[in-house]
Amino acid sequence: MSRLFAILLGAALVIAIVFLALPVLAIFLRVPPGDLVAQLGEERARDALLISLKTSLIAHVFILAVGTPAAYLLANRSFRGRTLVVSLIELPLVLPPAVAGLGLFAAFGRSGLLGSELSALGVEIPFTQVAVVLAICFVASPFYVRSAIAAFEGIDPTLPAAARTLGAGPFRVFARVALPLALGGLGAGSTLAFARGLGEFGATIMFAGSLPGRTQTAPLAIYAAFDEDFDVALALGALLVVISAALLLAVKLVPSWTRSTSPSTTLFAPSASR
């Protein structure tokens, strides 16, 4: 009976691997690599990739700049309503992307909450690259913040305490002790968030629309090309696979000094409530 169990386990693993790997492999097998590269030279594909990379990078800078201190605060302070705040931050994770798009309209659209204020400043957000960046920030930041909170929480608390007794003020503790020690988890979360942002579709197509050369990101271009120019869709898809795989590898190879956190645990670790 235990032999049967071992066989079932092995079979389950094989099935899982095949199921997950097949679609990815199929992309590469349908179009010869030469054609793949040629398709990428096409204007629409190039535009889409550039827009994707540009908006993803800008969004990522914001995510890191705002998400890191926020996560640090949440990891170190317990206050009334902390659980609520963390849940709010994690909300986009469970929100259907189209709903996220609607929400972004409702907040930043012309007739949205901030609509009149933004119009008064001459700022119109929907259908622009700013909208793409916002959509990416919205869907990708929870991935980062969650991992960052877990990474900061995973630091041995005597270390920041020791730093303070050695004369380090709160900022120095953050910059010289917390940040370096959390780097492994931060890197893993950052990579995951970046990958998620790169593949963002639902909220983007709703809030930013899809205009080649302006707001059509790679995933949107794949969707548009799917019906008419399948080869371009394949080429873009293949490239996104390569980028995602590279990002995933990068996560595994980032060195970590924290004692108990390894990249795979912080990627999906829920944040503890204090």
Q: Tell me which residues touch other proteins (CB under 8 A).
A: 105, 109-111, 126-127, 156, 158-159, 161-169, 176-177, 180-181, 205, 208-212, 215, 223-224, 226-228, 230, 257-259
Residue 113 neighbours by CB under 8 Å, 6+ apart: 106, 107
Q: How far is the CB of 169 from other proteins (least distance, A)?
A: 5
Nearer of residues 206 and 267 to other proteins, judged by Cβ: 206
CB atoms within 10 A of CB 98: 14
Q: How far is the CB of 224 from other proteins (least distance, A)?
A: 6
Q: How far is the CB of 106 from other proteins (least distance, A)?
A: 9
As to burial, measured by CB atoms within 10 angstroms (0-12 exposed, 13-18 middle, 19+ buried), residue 192 is buried
Nearer of residues 195 and 224 to other proteins, judged by Cβ: 224
Q: How far is the CB of 184 from other proteins (least distance, A)?
A: 10
* Block residue for tokens 């540009």: 54
Nearer of residues 28 and 226 to other proteins, judged by Cβ: 226
Nearer of residues 45 and 208 to other proteins, judged by Cβ: 208
Q: How far is the CB of 194 from other proteins (least distance, A)?
A: 24
Burial 204-243 (b: 16+ CB within 10 A, else e): bbbbbbbeeeebbbbbbbbbbbeeebebbbbbbbbbbeeb
Nearer of residues 161 and 246 to other proteins, judged by Cβ: 161
The span from the CA of 168 to the CA of 80, in Å, is 28
| 185 neighbors 151 (Cβ within 8 angstroms) | yes
